Amino acid sequence: MTAPVRDAEPERAARVPAADHPSRALRPALTELRLSSFAAHRKAVVRMGPVTYLAGPSGSGKSTVLRAAEALARLGGGARLVEAFPDPPACVPDREGPRAGRRGFRIGCGAEGPAGPVRLVLAVQTEPDLRIVGERLTAGGLTLLQTGLRDPARRVVEAAWHTGGSAPLTRGPLPDDRLGTPLLPLRVAGRTDGQRLVLAAAEQMVVALRSVFACDPCPSAMRRPAPRGGGRLLSGCGNLAEVLRRTGAECGRRHARLVAAARAGCAGPVRDLTTRQLDDGTVCALLDRGDGILTPVDRLGDGELRYLALALVLLTGPGVLEVDTAAEVPAAYQTLTVLADGFDRCLDDRQLRELTGLAAEMCAGGHLRLLAAVRTTTAAQGAAPASVVHLKP
């Protein structure tokens, strides 16, 4: 069981703050996670830079932080509460006894973008039944949306959102099994300055949440041939071969960078990465060793496969990964936030140095951000710019 992490601050600030980058300020992105009362964490604040590493031994709560971020992202995409939190009891803080027969947890996040800093806080009840009992969206010290459970017998929460003008607030019911912020565009007309402020803040938070991609490559899945279709990378990277086929055909520059990364991190010579369609229509990936020698990726070690998959994630970005980004937001204004659990799992020091260097380079432009869990900060500290958040058991 882990102890509370109190306002965990980055060990080193990123070299180029998000707001100072000329092209980054207009792109909504998550900038902090707040685990006020979630699993083993209490009053934990994790501030996120372009590259942020969560460091700590086993049991320090690194995966819990990433799980909370992924759950918020799913809610931002319209998922129901049970889909975002499939194991609600595991989210309840340790030693948290029931109060009046009820138990639950509190989490939240912050996002920056055109509307400035926006913060979302969510209170969830797990017992006697799973439901949202409170949600608050704020910006600039102003509460834009607030919900609360008024009648436990009804499956709704009472919501009040900022209106401005002659009527300062508008009230109405919202479902208690979905996040209310993504539903605001269906309820807010946008006629007053106050309403437009609500819509801008809600859109910024939703775009930031929907642009999250949780990634934990599974070597056993990557060893199997991948079915054709879409070429959008899945969370476990089991369709690695299909994505390699697409990137090789559509983006020669990124493919060349990926080949260079494979050459630096895989054993033996690597001239190219290629794919082959099998008789059943599936696709397998191969390493071209030169002189006509092709090595199927299923012969690679777990570390090599995870290294290749993570390098591919860092080099692809929006439009390639399996992320439900907001269709109305131009790609130039999108920032993909990658959540990577076990970023250094199975990797040797050379592979980790290559990946942290690649992460620093790819995240510098503002289209990509990384929040990754690592066991050791040795390699991460050597790759600037990066922020390191230390978690203690």
Average pLDDT over residues 240-257: 87
If one counts every other C-beta atom within 10 angstroms of the C-beta of residue 8, the result is 23
State whether 75 and 26 are in the same domain.
yes
Among candidate residues 177, 211, 245, the one where a domain is terminated: 211
Does 110 score more than 80 pLDDT? yes
Percent of the chain clearing pLDDT 70 (strictly above): 85
Q: Worst-scoring range by mean pLDDT, 5-19, 215-229, 361-375? A: 5-19
Average pLDDT over residues 299-317: 92
Q: pLDDT class for 159, splitting at 50, 70, 90? A: very high
- Structure-model confidence comparison of residues 366 and 216, the more confident one: 216
Assess contact for 53 and 385: CB atoms under 8 A.
no
Nearest to 124 by CA among 205, 167, 170, 180: 180
Assess contact for 313 and 223: CB atoms under 8 A.
no
State whether 186 and 45 are in the same domain.
yes
| Residue 334 falls inside a structural domain | no
Supply the pLDDT for residue 172: 93
Our measurement of the distance from residue 358's CA atom to the centroid of its chain's CA atoms, rounded to an integer in Å, reads: 18
Cα separation of 249 and 272, whole Å?
Answer: 13
Q: What is the DSSP string of 348-373?
A: -HHHHHHHHHHHHHHHTTSSEEEEEE
Phi first, then psi: what are they for 63, rounded to 5°?
Answer: -65, -30
| Residue 101 falls inside a structural domain | yes
Average pLDDT over residues 260-273: 95
State whether 205 and 245 are in the same domain.
no
State whether 237 and 144 are in the same domain.
no
| Residue 236 falls inside a structural domain | yes
State whether 295 and 149 are in the same domain.
no
Supply the pLDDT for residue 335: 85
State whether 73 and 90 are in the same domain.
yes
Cα separation of 147 and 275, whole Å?
Answer: 51
Local structure of residue 4 (DSSP, 8 states): P
Supply the pLDDT for residue 133: 96
Assess contact for 374 and 380: CB atoms under 8 A.
yes
State whether 157 and 225 are in the same domain.
no
Assess contact for 163 and 169: CB atoms under 8 A.
yes
If one counts every other C-beta atom within 10 angstroms of the C-beta of residue 379, the result is 22
Q: pLDDT class for 332, splitting at 50, 70, 90? A: low
- Structure-model confidence comparison of residues 386 and 108, the more confident one: 108
Supply the pLDDT for residue 333: 57
Average pLDDT over residues 112-141: 95
Please state the three-class secondary structure of 54-71 as a single string.
EECCCCCCHHHHHHHHHH
Assess contact for 109 and 76: CB atoms under 8 A.
no
Cα separation of 261 and 30, whole Å?
Answer: 28
If one counts every other C-beta atom within 10 angstroms of the C-beta of residue 88, the result is 19
Supply the pLDDT for residue 291: 86
State both tokens at 280: 């059943």
Assess contact for 31 and 50: CB atoms under 8 A.
no
295 burial (CB, 10 Å; 0-12 / 13-18 / 19+) is middle
Q: Find which of 158-167, 212-221, 356-365 is predicted with most confidence, using mean pLDDT.
A: 212-221
Among candidate residues 322, 352, 374, the one where a domain is terminated: 322
State both tokens at 15: 């070299």
Supply the pLDDT for residue 384: 60
Supply the pLDDT for residue 330: 55
Does 179 score more than 80 pLDDT? yes
| Residue 72 falls inside a structural domain | yes
Average pLDDT over residues 257-276: 95
State whether 116 and 248 are in the same domain.
no
Assess contact for 343 and 310: CB atoms under 8 A.
yes
Among candidate residues 270, 298, 322, the one where a domain is terminated: 322
Supply the pLDDT for residue 137: 98
Supply the pLDDT for residue 217: 95
| Residue 285 falls inside a structural domain | yes
Q: pLDDT class for 366, splitting at 50, 70, 90? A: confident
Does 305 score more than 70 pLDDT? yes
Q: pLDDT class for 381, splitting at 50, 70, 90? A: low
The count of domains in the chain is 2
| Residue 269 falls inside a structural domain | yes
Average pLDDT over residues 60-74: 95
56 burial (CB, 10 Å; 0-12 / 13-18 / 19+) is buried
Cα separation of 288 and 303, whole Å?
Answer: 19
| Residue 48 falls inside a structural domain | yes
Nearest to 311 by CA among 252, 375, 272, 254: 254
Cα separation of 159 and 150, whole Å?
Answer: 10
Assess contact for 136 and 58: CB atoms under 8 A.
no
- Structure-model confidence comparison of residues 367 and 104, the more confident one: 104
Query: In residues, how long is the chain?
Result: 393
State whether 65 and 102 are in the same domain.
yes
State whether 254 and 292 are in the same domain.
yes
Q: What tens digit of pLDDT does each residue of 7-31 get?
A: 343 333 222 333 334 344 578 999 9
Does 288 score more than 90 pLDDT? yes
Nearest to 117 by CA among 218, 6, 39, 19: 19
Domain, as residue range, for 137: 18-211
Q: pLDDT class for 250, splitting at 50, 70, 90? A: confident
State whether 99 and 155 are in the same domain.
yes
Assess contact for 322 and 233: CB atoms under 8 A.
yes
State whether 173 and 309 are in the same domain.
no
| Residue 62 falls inside a structural domain | yes
State both tokens at 37: 């009362």
